[in-house]
Copies of this chain bind each other. A is one copy, B any other.
Amino acid sequence: MNKLLIVGTVAFDAIETPFGKTDKILGGAGTYIGLSAAFFNLQSAIVSVVGDDFPQEYLDLLTERNIDISGLEIVKGGKTFFWSGRYHNDLNSRDTLNTQLNVLADFQPKVPENYKNADVVMLGNLHPLVQSGVLDQLESKPKLVVLDTMNFWMDCALPELLDVIKRVDVITINDEEARQLSGEYSLVKAAAKIQEMGPEYVVIKKGEHGALLFHGNNVFFAPALPLEEVFDPTGAGDTFAGGFAGFITQSENVSFENMKNAIIYGSNLASFCVEKFGTERMVSLDKKEVVSRLKQFKSLTQFDIEL
């Protein structure tokens, strides 16, 4: 089985949406990526950090899905990263109510020995120096390195971000962030400029409006599944990235054609994530549901015009 190395936060989230609110629940980019990638036939490991306030049941939830947590540092006496936020009525925007970095402030990632030759590396949203620090520890060049990031690092660590962007094959980023990073309003132009920064493939996530994959002059579009109700968008982008990286790892095929399938899988898994609070839906999800919904994606987009 191929190996997927995941870097990203493992955290507590407290979420408010128009449909309700939660206390501290399991969250973090690394968590969502790991849960999503676990739907594929692969070996995976998460590199991250938590405090000793992090419950054993959450650790069990990861290991039960065959996610290697030997690279998940548990800091004695430390407190786990905490984020809380409130979504607006349209669920397209949110306010951060509280961020406590805690153990994340001094995080030095340590890649497990047997993942230094990972086939695919998924760098979840974190400080770009942490992302670079993981790449520095690898002993062989992965087939594919995927990076996710956000506007926060563009605002406060742009040089470090540009350094790590140079080193990756695929960047996943949302539409507003793509505009900010490139200075271009048109997403076509933005993707072209971001490709010049390093990544051969640019994935622009548009939330409920789907995702675009750019590579040279090629472009592919995966819609988001139209849902009766989006309950909680938290983790959707990370779940998308986990599905993308997980499918690529399983299929060992890094062609543009295969990446089309990978972003369909990413959209598919993200469409489940938003149906319940936090990781709840991803934890209850089974593979049959994933396959059944892939059929919906086919009928949603496939047409028969003869040319």
| A221 / chain B contacts, CB cutoff of 8 Å | 223, 226, 300-301
Contact B226 A212 (CB under 8 A): yes
The answer to the question of A110 belonging to the interface, with a C-beta cut-off of 8 Å to chain B, is no
Q: Which of B188, B206, B260, B303 is the one whose CB lies under 8 Å from A303?
A: B260
The answer to the question of A97 belonging to the interface, with a C-beta cut-off of 8 Å to chain B, is no
The answer to the question of A114 belonging to the interface, with a C-beta cut-off of 8 Å to chain B, is no
Given A221-B223, A226-B221, residue A305 in contact with residue B188 (CB < 8 A): no
Q: Which residue of B lies closest to A291 (CB)?
A: B307
Given A185-B90, A188-B226, A209-B206, residue A300 in contact with residue B219 (CB < 8 A): yes
Contact A299 B212 (CB under 8 A): no
| A61 / chain B contacts, CB cutoff of 8 Å | none
Given A206-B209, A209-B206, residue A303 in contact with residue B261 (CB < 8 A): yes
| A230 / chain B contacts, CB cutoff of 8 Å | 186
The answer to the question of A162 belonging to the interface, with a C-beta cut-off of 8 Å to chain B, is no
Contact B227 A261 (CB under 8 A): no
Contact A220 B300 (CB under 8 A): yes
Q: Report the count of interface residues on A (CB-CB < 8 A).
A: 38
A293 → chain B closest CB, angstroms: 10
Contact A299 B226 (CB under 8 A): no
Contact B220 A261 (CB under 8 A): no
Given A294-B307, A303-B261, A305-B294, residue A210 in contact with residue B223 (CB < 8 A): yes
CA distance A284 to B255 in the complex (A): 37
The answer to the question of A76 belonging to the interface, with a C-beta cut-off of 8 Å to chain B, is no
A70 → chain B closest CB, angstroms: 33
CA distance A228 to B187 in the complex (A): 7
The answer to the question of A257 belonging to the interface, with a C-beta cut-off of 8 Å to chain B, is yes
Contact A299 B186 (CB under 8 A): no
The answer to the question of A189 belonging to the interface, with a C-beta cut-off of 8 Å to chain B, is yes
CA distance A246 to B299 in the complex (A): 23
CA distance A282 to B295 in the complex (A): 36
Q: Which of B90, B187, B301 is the one whose CB lies under 8 Å from A301?
A: B301
Q: Which residues of A contact B (CB under 8 A)?
A: 89-90, 185-189, 206, 209-210, 212, 218-221, 223, 226-230, 257, 260-261, 264-265, 291, 294-295, 298-305, 307
- 24 inter-chain pairs at a CB distance below 8 angstroms, sorted by A residue, are A89-B185, A186-B227, A186-B230, A188-B227, A189-B228, A206-B209, A209-B210, A210-B210, A219-B226, A219-B300, A220-B301, A220-B303, A221-B223, A221-B300, A221-B301, A257-B304, A260-B303, A260-B304, A291-B307, A294-B305, A294-B307, A298-B305, A301-B301, A301-B303
Listed from nearest, the 6 A-B pairs whose CB atoms lie closest are: A209-B209, A260-B303, A221-B223, A188-B228, A301-B301, A261-B305
Given contacts A186-B229, A188-B227, A298-B307, 10 further A-B contacts (CB under 8 A): A189-B229, A220-B300, A221-B300, A221-B301, A257-B304, A261-B303, A265-B305, A294-B305, A301-B303, A302-B302
